[in-house]
Structure 1
Amino acid sequence: MLEVDSLEKRYKTGDMALRGISFTVAKGQVVGLIGPSGAGKSSLIRCINRLVEPTGGAIRLNGLDLTKLSGGNLRQARRRIGMIFQEYALVERLTVMENVLSGRLGYVAFWRSFFRRFPQTDVDKAFQLLDRVGLQDHVDKRADALSGGQRQRVGIARALEQDPELLLVDEPTASLDPKTSRQIMRLICEVCRERDLPAIINIHDVVLAQMFVDRIIGLRAGAVVFDGPPTDLTDTALTEIYGEEDWHAMRKTREEDAADESETKAFEAERLAELV
């Protein structure tokens, strides 16, 4: 379980990025973090994994207060937090397998990582994860030969290779087309539920978040202004988070996109049947 208690972050400029944020995330729960640019979403994610130092409050992961750690203890704690990045953060010249195995770098001796000689158990696990994310036929491909969706699947497998207790996901679909975005969100949510793994997904696409996550937290000006199930995210709540917008039109456009995709799939299936 993740517990965030009265978390604050004030930057040296005096700007207050986070204002007394408190919430908990239970095992297996997937939380979508939404809000306008500058709301504090990235600051919150980075405070949780201590890439940014909180100014006040506590962050407890399964009882361990991450804000009180430093040095080697902090490095060990970070191994318990898996990260999935918007721009994938892969090593382009390495293979898919080598990128996934990099998720074990915090666990193996330096000489093993330098020579890429990982224990067989780590290699076996990486094969299993690549099969789970649908990349079993791309093990030896270089990362720079993959599509955006495939790269993000490698990022998911790499994060899971850590055996994390918490998953932090930063805009996983920002560079993907609508169909691939849904596939990636579905995959992330499925693996979290399979592993009883809590996750926070920083996401701009509100409709996509509503389709997949268990719970939504909305930030505005560094404070929580919404916390509840996706079904409670009404137009009034969205206006509280983002300001005035035609939310009905936005949903209608998304529904039309989904309908177009469904029709395209049906047409392709018919054409395939004719060819067979």
Structure 2
Amino acid sequence: MLTIQSLSKRYNTGDKALTQVNIQIPKGQVVALIGPSGAGKSTLIRCVNRLVEPTEGQVFLGDTQITKLNTRQLRSARRRMGMIFQDYALIDRLSVMENVLSGYLGYTGFWRSFLRRYPQDVIVEAFRLLERVGLESFIDKRADELSGGQRQRVGIARALLQNPQILLVDEPTASLDPKTSRQIMRLIRELCAERQLSAIINIHDVHLAQQFADRIIGLRAGEVVFDGQPDALDTEMLTLIYGEEDWNPQIDADEEENAKHKAPDQMYMDSKAALV
């Protein structure tokens, strides 16, 4: 379980990015963070693993208080938090397999990683993950030869190689077309279900958030203004989060899109349940 208590972030300029944020995320829950640009979504995710140092408050992952750890302890704790970046954060000159194996760096150390000395079971797991994300035929390709969706799949496999307890996902669909965006969000959702992983996903696409998240948290000016089920996100709540706008056309479009994809998605879930 991830617990965020009274978390605040104020920059040296005096600007407040987060104000008294309180969130609790149980094991296996997929949470979408939505809100306008500058609302504090990315800052919140990065405060969890202390890529950004919070000004006040506490973050717990299970019984571990992340905000009290020293540098060495934090390095160890970050193994339990898989990060998936908007810009993929791949090393272009390295192969797909080498980028995935870099996710084990927190366990093996820099020099063993630099010399490609990974345990055999880790290599086997990397192969298995690449197969799971649909990239088994791209193992030897350089990262800079991949499409955006393929690069994001490499980033997902790399994060999972850490064997994390939670995924921190920063705008995974920002640079992707609508079809690929759906595929990536569905993949993250499925992997979380398979591994009983929690996830916090910073995402701008409200429709994707409603379709693939168990819970939606809306931020505005660094404060939580909505925390609830996807179907509770009506015009009033959208206005509270984003400000005045005619949301009805968007909601109508979302309902039409949901109806279009409901049957295939439900068929997939039913077939998956039948195999269990």
TM-score, normalization by structure 1? 0.91
Aligned residue for 1:167, secondary structure, equals strand
- 2:141 maps to which residue? 141
| Counterpart Cα distance in 1 of 2:80 and 2:261 | 38
Q: Indicate whether 1:202 and 2:216 are aligned.
A: no
Give SS of 2:160's match: helix
SS in 1 for 2:236: helix
Letter in 2 for 1:131: E
Secondary structure (helix, strand or coil) at the match of 1:5 reads strand
1:105-137 per-position Cα deviation (integer Å, ceiling 9, x unaligned): 110143321111211011000011011101111
1:118 alignment partner in structure 2: 118
Closer/same/farther in 2, CA of residues 261 and 144 from structure 1, 3 Å limit: farther
In structure 1, the partner of 2:18 is: 18
CA RMSD of aligned residues (A): 1.7
Taking the TM superposition and a 5 Å limit, the aligned residue runs for 1:49-64 are: 49-64=49-64
Structure-to-structure mapping, 1:176-215, within 5 angstroms? 176-215=176-215
Look up the SS of the partner of 1:217 in the other structure: strand
Gaps of 5+ in 1: 263-276
Indicate the residue corresponding to 2:46 in structure 1.
46
Per the TM alignment, residue 261 of structure 1 is displaced from its structure 2 partner at its CA by: 9.9
Per the alignment, do residues 198 and 257 of structure 1 end up closer, same or farther by CA in structure 2, a change over 3 Å counting? closer
Which digits, 9 at most, give the CA deviation of each residue in 1:158-185, with x for residues without a partner?
0000111111000000000000000000
Aligned residues: 262
SS at match of 1:244: coil
The runs of 5 or more residues in structure 2 that have no matched partner are 263-276
SS at match of 1:79: helix
Alignment correspondent of 1:29: 29
The aligned residue for residue 162 of structure 1 is: 162
8 Å CA contact retained: 2:211, 2:258: no
Identity %: 67
Please, what TM-score do these two structures have when normalized by structure 2? Answer: 0.91
Paired residue type of 2:243: G
Which SS does the other structure have where 1:192 is aligned? helix
- Cα offset for 1:27? 0.7
Match of 2:245 in 1: 245
C-alpha distance in 2 between matches for 1:36 and 1:161: 32
> What is the identity, as a one-letter code, of the residue corresponding to 1:201?
I
- Taking the aligned partners of 2:148 and 2:254, their CA distance within structure 1 comes to 21
Q: Is the 8 A contact 2:100 2:154 kept in 1?
A: yes
Q: Which ranges of 4 or more aligned residues in structure 1 deviate by more than 4 Å?
A: 253-262
